[in-house]
């Protein structure tokens, strides 16, 4: 039978390409493969990082973990200054539903404040580093008034509206007293919800929570003294604590988040972004995230 060198070489190359692709997939999905091959009870580390603007990705992961019988405990690794109100509340509520099915332990990184702390209150235990920045139990709304600026450059704002409050918080005019009272009422309502969540989650007296719910921040050590944190420790301490509470015998099988593979552009921009983040952190040291014309924790 006559051999076909070209065809034979093509098949070899194709086989190597497929094998290489499978290896790459295996490396990228190591945690999933480990779960299938090893089996057994596990502790899953779920990261909540950065400004909280969208609850969807976190809730999607929680839904998957809820259906996984091998996941006995979830460690929320929180490193967030807070964010928008609704997404923080949605994640909190989803965790409350999950409490009876899974052990939940919150582990604080550098910052777990405002909306980040709100989410942590749904956990069975909260563990923070002594120097973690936390607290900031409060609500804020901020906007910029540019009325004088646009007047200086010869511009004038024209508004046609269906009701007297439709252009509330307009940046082109001063806020009226009645409008300020209306917004303050909304802020107070959401602030009260925050206090209730902390008092319920931490089993604290509501009045004692209200006394410190003025936006101030605390170190992890201070937070423990106030009852806002249970223990001091790092991520590994939180994992061990979660395993004990969940009744996992021996060393727990820990599943960490799959790291996203950075693109070449990400690699080139990484240094610049770190410099910008450090500058912002140095000059705007606030525990809550402030967004123009939006209510935030």
Per the CB < 8 A criterion, the answer to whether 129 and 233 are in contact is yes
Q: Active site includes 114? A: yes
Residue from 35, 80, 114, 219 carrying the catalytic annotation: 114
Residues 6+ away with beta carbon under 8 Å from 171: 143, 144, 145, 146, 147, 293
- Token pair listed for 242: 């979660």
Residue 252 · residue 243 · CB < 8 Å: yes
CA atoms of 275 and 281, how far apart (whole Å): 10
Q: At what angle do helices 177-202 and 85-98 cross, to 10 degrees?
A: 20
Active-site residue numbers? 114, 166
């Amino acid at each position: 039978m006559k051999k076909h060198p070209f065809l034979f070489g093509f098949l070899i190359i194709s086989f190597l390409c497929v094998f290489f692709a499978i290896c790459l997939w295996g490396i990228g999905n190591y945690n999933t493969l480990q779960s299938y091959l090893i089996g057994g009870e596990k502790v899953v580390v779920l990261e909540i990082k950065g400004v909280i603007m969208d609850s969807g990705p976190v809730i999607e992961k929680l839904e998957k973990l809820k259906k996984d019988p091998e996941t006995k405990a979830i460690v929320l690794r929180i490193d967030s200054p807070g964010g928008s109100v609704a997404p923080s509340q949605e994640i909190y509520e989803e965790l409350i539903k999950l409490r009876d099915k899974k052990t939940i332990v919150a582990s604080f990184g550098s910052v777990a404040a405002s909306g980040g702390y709100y989410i942590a209150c749904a956990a069975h235990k909260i563990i923070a580093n002594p120097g973690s920045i936390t607290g900031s139990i409060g609500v804020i709304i901020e906007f910029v008034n540019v009325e004088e600026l646009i007047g200086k450059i010869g511009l004038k704002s024209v508004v046609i509206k269906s009701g007297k409050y439709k252009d509330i918080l307009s940046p082109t005019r001063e806020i009226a007293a009645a409008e300020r009272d209306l917004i303050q009422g909304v802020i107070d309502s959401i602030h009260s919800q925050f206090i209730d969540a902390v008092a319920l989650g931490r089993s604290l007296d509501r009045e004692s929570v209200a006394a410190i719910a003025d936006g101030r921040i605390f170190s992890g050590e201070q937070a423990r003294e106030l009852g806002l944190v249970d223990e001091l420790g790092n991520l590994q301490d939180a994992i061990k604590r979660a395993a004990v509470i969940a009744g996992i015998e021996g060393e727990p099988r820990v599943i960490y988040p799959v790291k996203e593979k950075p693109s070449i552009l990400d690699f080139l921009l990484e240094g610049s972004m770190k410099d910008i983040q450090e500058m912002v952190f140095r000059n705007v040291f606030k525990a809550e995230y402030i967004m123009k014309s939006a209510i935030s924790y």
